[in-house]
Amino acid sequence: MLFDSLSKVFSLYTETHTLMSSCHFVLVVIFTAYFFGPVIECVTPIVYI
């Protein structure tokens, strides 16, 4: 009985953790693109020349 409730809590925690880490990953990607976008636009012509 105790083990069953523990496994339910653990699965819920795992799902929440996965969701949180994927959201965190998306936020990091958006922030990186927003922050480095102008830098890449400035550097790209120099690289191609």
Res 49 pLDDT > 60: no
**Residue 47, pLDDT score:** 67
Tokens 């880490």 — which residue? 21
Helical (H) or strand (E) element with 7: helix 2-48
5-36, pLDDT tens digit by residue? Answer: 888 988 888 888 887 888 888 889 888 888 88
**Residue 33, pLDDT score:** 85
* Structure-block tokens of residue 31: 């922030």
Q: Give the structural domain span for 5.
A: 1-49
In whole angstroms, how far apart are CA 39 and each of 10, 35, 49? 43, 8, 16
**Residue 7, pLDDT score:** 87
Number of domains in the chain: 1
- How many Å apart are CA 11 and CA 43, to the nearest integer? 46
